[in-house]
Structure 1
Amino acid sequence: MSKRSVFTYDIDNSISADKLLGLLDSEPFLFYLDSNDHQDKNGTASILVATGARNIVRCDAGDALSELSRFRESENDWIFGWLGYDLKNELENLESKNTDPLEFPDLMFVVPERVFQWSKGKLTIHTYEDQAVIDQLINDLKSHQGKTNQKSPEQTVRLTAQNSKNQYLKSTQKFLKHIKRGDIYEANYCMSFLADDVEFDEIQAYHHLNNISKPPFSALVRCGDFKAVSASPERYLKNQGNQLLSQPIKGTARRHEDPEQDEIFKKELFENKKERSENVMIVDLVRNDLSRVAQKGSVQVDELYGIYTFKQVHHMISSITADLQKDKSGIDAIKATFPMGSMTGAPKVSAMKIIDENENFKRGLYSGAIGYFDPDGNFDFNVVIRTILYNAQLRKLSFAVGSAITIEAVPEKEYEECFLKAHALLETLKKQGITLNDD
């Protein structure tokens, strides 16, 4: 196999992220991962972009992660893709009783034609093309006009919640009964929203949603008819030089326009017993998962109950690290930790069983992960939350939101938290004539 060439260019004012995305607008296969300049000591690039598809692996739960391992080893290259939540069914003795109306595959990865790394005033391009082609691309990038005021689809489409409020509150009570019986300690209960016969401009939606939220793990994905626009604030798992890092989020508070009141909200989040209880339970779950593939004594909680501020909300985030055993691979680490505990609950298998009994939709890519592997086996994946999903062939669109149910949960407040998390998504869809059905 021929080796990629690597070309690096200095970035000046003639080049911008908007221009790069605008230049790549027509690519049928596109992964655009943006940290939004969050000061993250664990980050590797401010923006990472992949275009084209030299090869593809696509499969559903069964032997999907082993297939991914074979694909990665045979390609020995950059690969970008996603892990769907329902891969749980091959990792544990589980099933999914519902169907995914958008029909996303449980796993899909591509070997891109080009990879763009944008970091610290440099644009590095990994490609099989010669320098003359890339030099011309840089010239095109400099002269590109960037994003334009794209016309929104002319439509009036109703987005329907798949749970009524009454159904949500009843199901929350069922989770509380399980908790009181000792079946579980915590569960992440989610509700979905669906629109049929809809047009969707994912580039326009990405610009709007990303500007609203500016999260550290935003993603725009286009794989043929499958589209995802994600404003995720959460890292699922990163592997860098065989050091693993997981950063679960449990704990959310709204922002306030008054700075003093905003600080009060942050302090209340930090001191909130329910939020701390949720967070530490998931930290313990992640520690346990990582210990299955970690070198003995290497699992550490680097930060507990960290409060991080985003444009829409404050979040409580903890950081857990571990050193991967020398005889284990990165995909072994994924098998040991997926799905991420922040989207399941604890104990994980029992929580997933009860979730499937009570939710009325198959999560699909929601609650899964979007990310990449580099040629050395390093990887980084987000958690697919705050994400709009679309199947262009079926003309179906959906998103889902959820909250953690613990013994201290108040069903009405959990319902309100779901809509707090849905706010930016609903505002983004409204720009394209897609509005919530209030019936």
Structure 2
Amino acid sequence: MPHADTINVHVTRFTQQELANEFALDCDNTIVFNRLFEQISAQPYAILFDTSGSSKSDGRFNIMAFSPTAVIEAKGEQTELIDLHTSSRQRLNMLPFEAVQAHLHAKVESIVVKATFDTTHLPFIVGVAGMAGYDTGRFYETLPSMAQNDYSTPDFTVGLYLYSLIEDTQTGYIYFCSADNRSLSQVFKSLKQVPTPEGFKLTSPFESNLSKDAYETCLAKISAYLRAGDCYQVNMAQRFSAAFEGSMWQAYCELRNQNQAPFSAYYNLPQGCIASISPERFLRVKNKVVETKPIKGTRPRFNDVEKDEASAQSLLNAEKDRAENLMIVDLLRNDVSKHCKPHTVKVPALFALESYEAVHHLVSTVTGELNDASSPLALLASAFPGGSITGAPKIRAMEVIDELEPHRRHIYCGSVFYMGYREDMDSSICIRTVLAENNRLHCWAGGGIVLDSVPSEEYQETLDKVSKILPVLAMMNQ
């Protein structure tokens, strides 16, 4: 690719009250940012990275990006570059992440930021953002195709964004970043108006693609693979589906308020919509420092304080969950080390407790220093999908998943991510995530299966994980 032309990016800073006044928003200042996103939420490729009011995992900034100039889309075995100004499609003989690097990120390698204040602390500013579904892994590994693929949304969609709004939740400032020096109100007014659906409601109850007996039969097959030495751990999930009508943005707002997950995200695609309330980081790269935070180990939350504390202590002291977590830490240390400088990969936190609205989790942290010869997108591609939601060894575990789960996972256990022009990247693991397409919702829950797993307990854990999603969406009918 030729070197990128220099792009001047103008950054303007507002208080929340200034934007509330400019856009006539009759709301509390704390929700001005989300009310602004609501105005563009139905725009194709509008994307929101949302800390949901959580400060976990260094949560500080909310980011929205919109009106991308171009998109890399991949599905099946095909990767395409879409020019959104001309609506033209070009088929590429490239893998998805590599296509993003060459055709999108290459265009923002030469950026000059124009601002009257310090912007060095801001993430992203302009760059690439989007989603890579779990099945993006099929572009990088040879896997069986037994599970049914009944989705219309692509496996991978990433855009080049030259507009963004960034909220600093510590200071309350909101920053508008623009490559064409138009004002925020001018840009919003220029967007083609897309009708937004009214309300949200389920038009059928959620049903799983596996009964309890069928799920436990799958666990028995996994146990046989574990005893045979095929794997040490396999993640096994079930998919819940329901019919719906109305506004997915409204549904997302209810889910994010109920769950307060630090890696929440909303992504509106032409074919469907992703609403994620994930608590899990996949990979972050900032100033060449790599961090991944695998979750492995879960217990339910309780309203009774003593019962809740006992549940947390049960998790902290559980040998099975600690062993399960350690297996994934080792897998991720191996994945990360391939792109990090020798002897820089460390585990600064092992088996830390993080508590969310529905469950307690056991979370570890792995860090390293990125090789000078590598890039964040190359790291993401080589570690994809995240080891915390496959099992170990990864490829054999993925083969077992494809054999036993009736449907492909799509966005579940994939990632929503961004990488700004400075190659600052952050990405989630899309657990606790809903895919909406063709008036159908899909939501998944799973868990890591090891030799001493108890099938009935593993099944119940999957229900615990969606206890703040499925009932919340059902309650919206009332």
Deviations 1:226-273 (A, max 9, x none): 201111000011111111110000011111212222222111110011
Contact 1:33 1:48 in 2 (8 A): yes
Structure 1 segments unaligned to the other structure (5+ residues) = 140-147, 435-439
The two structures have a TM-score, normalised by structure 2, of 0.83
Partner of 2:368: helix, strand, or coil? strand
Give the residue type in structure 2 aligned to 1:413: E
Once the two structures are TM-superposed, the CA of residue 161 in structure 1 deviates from its matched residue by 1.0
CA distance in 2, matches of 1:19, 1:191: 34
Distance 1:359 1:151, change over 3 A: closer
Deviations 1:298-336 (A, max 9, x none): 000010000011111111100000111110111221122
Contact 2:198 2:247 in 1 (8 A): no
Once the two structures are TM-superposed, the CA of residue 297 in structure 1 deviates from its matched residue by 0.1
Instruction: Identify the residue that residue 168 of structure 1 maps to in structure 2.
Output: 215
Once the two structures are TM-superposed, the CA of residue 25 in structure 1 deviates from its matched residue by 3.7
Contact 1:190 1:403 in 2 (8 A): yes
CA distance in 1, matches of 2:76, 2:271: 20
Whether 1:3 aligns to 2:8 is: yes
Whether 1:426 aligns to 2:458 is: no
Distance 1:325 1:124, change over 3 A: same
CA distance in 1, matches of 2:355, 2:140: 34
Whether 1:271 aligns to 2:317 is: yes
Instruction: Identify the residue that residue 58 of structure 1 maps to in structure 2.
Output: 73
Once the two structures are TM-superposed, the CA of residue 27 in structure 1 deviates from its matched residue by 2.5
Contact 1:102 1:397 in 2 (8 A): no
Instruction: Identify the residue that residue 29 of structure 1 maps to in structure 2.
Output: 45
Whether 1:72 aligns to 2:104 is: yes
Contact 2:348 2:365 in 1 (8 A): yes
Give the residue type in structure 2 aligned to 1:32: L
The two structures have a TM-score, normalised by structure 1, of 0.90
Contact 1:229 1:387 in 2 (8 A): yes
Once the two structures are superposed, the pairs formed by residues 390-409 of structure 1 within 5 Å of their partners are 390-391=436-437, 394-409=438-453
Partner of 2:398: helix, strand, or coil? helix
Instruction: Identify the residue that residue 144 of structure 1 maps to in structure 2.
Output: none
Once the two structures are TM-superposed, the CA of residue 108 in structure 1 deviates from its matched residue by 0.6
Once the two structures are superposed, the pairs formed by residues 307-322 of structure 1 within 5 Å of their partners are 307-322=353-368
Instruction: Identify the residue that residue 87 of structure 2 maps to in structure 1.
Output: none
Whether 1:300 aligns to 2:300 is: no
Alignment partner of 1:105 out of 136, 148, 154: 154
Once the two structures are TM-superposed, the CA of residue 178 in structure 1 deviates from its matched residue by 0.8
Once the two structures are superposed, the pairs formed by residues 253-272 of structure 1 within 5 Å of their partners are 253-272=299-318
Distance 1:204 1:158, change over 3 A: same
Once the two structures are superposed, the pairs formed by residues 38-437 of structure 1 within 5 Å of their partners are 38-40=54-56, 42-43=58-59, 45-60=60-75, 62=77, 63-76=95-108, 77-119=126-168, 120-130=171-181, 133-134=183-184, 151-153=199-201, 156-196=203-243, 198-391=244-437, 394-433=438-477
Q: Which moved more, 1:394-403 or 1:185-194?
A: 394-403
Query: What is the number of equivalent residue pairs in this alignment?
Result: 420
Once the two structures are TM-superposed, the CA of residue 40 in structure 1 deviates from its matched residue by 4.3
Contact 2:200 2:251 in 1 (8 A): no
Distance 1:431 1:256, change over 3 A: closer
Distance 1:61 1:335, change over 3 A: farther
CA distance in 1, matches of 2:277, 2:298: 15
Aligned-residue Cα RMSD (Å) equals 2.3
Give the residue type in structure 2 aligned to 1:409: S
CA distance in 2, matches of 1:25, 1:87: 25
Once the two structures are TM-superposed, the CA of residue 225 in structure 1 deviates from its matched residue by 2.8
Instruction: Identify the residue that residue 143 of structure 1 maps to in structure 2.
Output: none
CA distance in 2, matches of 1:312, 1:287: 29
Partner of 2:400: helix, strand, or coil? helix
Structure 2 segments unaligned to the other structure (5+ residues) = 21-28, 78-94, 109-125, 190-195
Distance 1:150 1:135, change over 3 A: closer
Once the two structures are TM-superposed, the CA of residue 110 in structure 1 deviates from its matched residue by 1.2
Contact 2:274 2:435 in 1 (8 A): yes
Distance 1:159 1:299, change over 3 A: same
CA distance in 2, matches of 1:121, 1:138: 21
Partner of 1:418: helix, strand, or coil? helix
Instruction: Identify the residue that residue 142 of structure 1 maps to in structure 2.
Output: none
CA distance in 2, matches of 1:151, 1:206: 12
Q: Which moved more, 1:318-327 or 1:159-168?
A: 159-168
Percent sequence identity is 27
